[in-house]
Amino acid sequence: MNNKSNGKIYYSFDELGQELFGLKPFKKVTNDKQKLASQQEKFLGICPYCKQPASYVYGTNIITCKNENCKGKKIVRKFDDGTFTEEYRPFIKMISDKGLEIGTTIFSEEKENEKRKG
Ligand SMILES: [Zn+2]
């Protein structure tokens, strides 16, 4: 074991662990279920079309609406001959990298539970 510092200063064991052992950074998720639920609610927001809570697509930067009865945004296209078509686009919200980090943190437990269910 070489005790000589290579010049790098470690400020926490997490930091050291990440570099030496490739450990994942420690993620802080509150143990308070109510607080977590309110964090999730705030993070997701509400689908603007059906007014139901939106869903996070785990591991991505996408928030969408998974309500089966929600058609999404109505888009009407009119043609010169007077006919028109209607189509619906699902609600999709892209979040930032920071949002992705928050999402994977606050929904990590749900993801684990899903895995256990199989
Ligand atoms: Zn919806």
Give residues with Cβ within 8 angstroms of 62, minimum separation 6.
56, 92, 93, 94, 95
pLDDT in tens, 20-62: 766 665 567 888 999 999 999 999 999 999 999 999 999 999 9
Query: Does the global pTM surpass 0.85?
Result: no
- Ramachandran area for residue 33 (φ above 0: left; ψ -120 to 50: alpha; else beta): alpha
**Residue-level pLDDT at 117:** 76
Lowest mean pLDDT among 18-32, 62-76, 87-101: 18-32
- From ligand 1's centre to the CA of 103, what distance in Å? 19
In the chain, the DSSP E strands lie at: 55-57, 62-64, 73-78, 84-89, 92-94
How far is it between the farthest Cα atoms of the chain? 82
Average pLDDT over residues 53-74: 94
- From ligand 1's centre to the CA of 60, what distance in Å? 19
Q: Is the pLDDT confidence value at 106 over 60? A: yes
**CA dist., res. 23 & res. 93, Å (int):** 31
Total residues found in the chain within this entry? 118
Average pLDDT, whole number, for the chain?
86
- From ligand 1's centre to the CA of 72, what distance in Å? 6
Average pLDDT over residues 103-114: 86
- From ligand 1's centre to the CA of 69, what distance in Å? 8
- From ligand 1's centre to the CA of 51, what distance in Å? 6
- From ligand 1's centre to the CA of 21, what distance in Å? 43
Average pLDDT over residues 1-9: 60
> What does residue 64 show for φ and ψ, rounded to 5 degrees?
-140, 180
